Structure 1
Amino acid sequence: MENKYTVTGKVVKLNVTEVSIYREYPYTYITRSLAGNQLNKSDEELIQAVLEIMNIEFDPTNTIAKLTALSNEVKENLAQVKELGEHTKKNSETTQQSLFELTEQVFNLSAEVEALKGSHETEEEHHESTEETHSETSSTGTTNTPTDGTIAGN
């Protein structure tokens, strides 16, 4: 007496593979449809697929438990993704604010540098004009202005 299943037929019909399995004792003959072309799978894999479908049909509690566990896992993953999304959004806002502040500081520094350059140029011009107009008063009270940068004498 054989207690093992054997594949008695496998046929592809419209993207579905119909698989028939047989067991001599207790006499059992089962035919189920499997999605897709399953002809490339081994007989043992086909037998397991058919028996899994049979178990789901007769006792779905195990499959329901697996699906519930999978659903809970998916919910946890979605919560983590949502948390990461919120964290990323906060980081992005912080980064944007920091960039704005840095840009503002650079702009202010640039304006200060330009102002300092302008005041430095003004000081140089003032210094040069003071040197040009600097004159020495003689004992007669007349002013001699040198043109060659030398100090005028009496």
Structure 2
Amino acid sequence: MIPVTAADLGIEFGDASGHGFYKWLLASFLIGKRIRSSAAIEAYRNLVDQHGLDTPEKLAHCPHRDLVRILGQAGYARYDESTAKRLHALGIGVSQELDVQLNTLRKNGIAVSSFREWLLAFDGVGPKTLEIFMREAAAMLEHRSTGES
């Protein structure tokens, strides 16, 4: 199977909203689970495109029951409760820290490895999710850590 890319989902890291990293992290989180990739993609599209959860703040404020319903509609029936809980926590953590993490990369030139460790601290973000996310985000993160635009 051909890997899904950020471009496949209409995600741009340099988009005007500044939420490209969040959107790709959300997609990577869903794709990295032991579930059909078509269900993960449908869940992403349901969350972001249909229900407008296009920022971490919106995800953080989405009621648990709504996340469960949205995930269930996409085929996450077996994992909807646990995934909804983890998505809520991801939304909270990313809304509080993503900008800080990205700015620290840009201003202080911290190692991308520190950013990876931060991501792995989230429940439900494991090596597979990190691998998917970094496959496309690494180049943009390296630019930020070297101060390039």
- Quick check: TM above 0.5? no
* TM-score bucket of the superposed structures, by smaller chain: under 0.3
Larger strand fraction of residues: 1
TM-score by length of structure 2 reads: 0.21
Larger helix fraction of residues: 2
Which structure's CA Rg is the greater one?
A: 1
